[in-house]
Structure 1
């Protein structure tokens, strides 16, 4: 089970969900992904903490107070200095939606948006907490979905210190954000007109079974299933409270 405990600058370090019904959302994902959910308290900043095998995977909390905020998943990236990174956001054409502050003990974070409006988080922590990844029920991948995404790459290189490379994905171009030699996130242009956003892929062992549970529990799929060699099968989805995400069944490792 991949338990990540080291988070170099620019690496995804956490993901959480803001929902108009945090308790209902926690119940939905708990049943969908077999989460163990600890009720919200002050130590978790009012968020319910989800885990599998005793290792944290995500958190679920209320909508922020900002006008017009909707239910959404937020991906956070590790930074060495949250305040400096927030200043780089505005200097590079982005916006700061939540100023840097210590909302969790030992964690300084901010919520920001890139120049096209894709929202993400900055997360500064002295010692990284363990995060379960790339296992059923956990976050597998995160991806910037943005028309003209190439125009934002300089922004991410400046704010997060990542590199960017390109690879083929069928007939379309697919981009990778890299920290050192490791690919940590993806980016692509959507086929249809969509607001710029960061998409969280949640790992499932059986996509068809997961889709059946999704619809049974009140969620819905968006579009058709897709697949790619070396990646697996996936489908975009929405939970009963309006938050978009994706379900991914990774391709089995070669024997």
Structure 2
């Protein structure tokens, strides 16, 4: 199983869900992905830790205030939290949660890029907790979805130190955020009908079965399944509390 415990500057390091109804959300994702979800704990800000096969996958918790929508948030590792937050300020972003330690041992900030997409900055520790990735039920990919993602590339280069490259998904260009030789996230041009956001993709072994299960449990299909050579098949889902996420059945590796 791909277990990550090293997070170079600019790489994804965590995701969490902030929901209007954390117990109902915990039930939904437990039944959808087979997660083990622990109880909410005061020392973790009343978030519950979700794991698969004994390895942490995500956290589920309450909204910080009534004016924040239910949403998945992606976090990126940074070497210096204050420096990254300052870079966000000076390159057109905004700080939604100032750098700090909201729970013991976790230093983070919540920011919005110039297009309004919200994400987290997380200062790495010397010894990081392992994170399960790229397995059924675990995070597989992260994607910036915005009307003009290219306009934010300078922001992300400054804040996260990522490089920018491009691939083709079908006939369309698709932006990539790179750390060294590894692409760690993507950037997709939306039609502009929705606010810019970061979309979290969860790996599934069978997309069709995953979509059926997600909707049977009370979720809503947001986009019909799509596919692309070299990528796989995916669909976007809205959970019962309104958070958007995606299911991805990766294309099998060549034998």
TM-score by length of 1: 0.97
CA distance in 1, matches of 2:160, 2:249: 29
Once the two structures are TM-superposed, the CA of residue 29 in structure 1 deviates from its matched residue by 0.5
The residue that corresponds to 2:68 in the other structure is 69
Once the two structures are TM-superposed, the CA of residue 105 in structure 1 deviates from its matched residue by 2.3
Q: Which runs of 4+ in 1 moved over 3 A?
A: none
8 Å CA contact retained: 2:146, 2:192: no
The residue that corresponds to 1:122 in the other structure is 121
Once the two structures are TM-superposed, the CA of residue 45 in structure 1 deviates from its matched residue by 2.3
Mapping 1:183-194, distance limit 5 Å: 183-191=183-191, 193-194=193-194
Mapping 1:46-195, distance limit 5 Å: 46-65=46-65, 68-126=67-125, 127-191=127-191, 193-195=193-195
Once the two structures are TM-superposed, the CA of residue 43 in structure 1 deviates from its matched residue by 3.0
8 Å CA contact retained: 2:111, 2:121: yes
CA distance in 1, matches of 2:192, 2:121: 28
8 Å CA contact retained: 2:169, 2:229: no
CA distance in 1, matches of 2:252, 2:166: 24
TM-score by length of 2: 0.97
CA distance in 1, matches of 2:14, 2:153: 21
CA distance in 2, matches of 1:154, 1:168: 21
CA distance in 1, matches of 2:229, 2:58: 28
Consecutive unaligned residues in structure 1, runs of 5 or more: none
CA distance in 1, matches of 2:130, 2:153: 28
8 Å CA contact retained: 2:75, 2:120: yes
Once the two structures are TM-superposed, the CA of residue 192 in structure 1 deviates from its matched residue by 5.1
Stretch deviating more after TM superposition (81-90 or 27-36): 81-90
8 Å CA contact retained: 2:3, 2:133: yes
8 Å CA contact retained: 2:7, 2:124: no
8 Å CA contact retained: 1:106, 1:125: no
Task: Supply the RMSD in Å over aligned alpha carbons.
Answer: 1.0
Stretch deviating more after TM superposition (11-20 or 205-214): 205-214
Q: Secondary structure at the match of 1:135?
A: coil
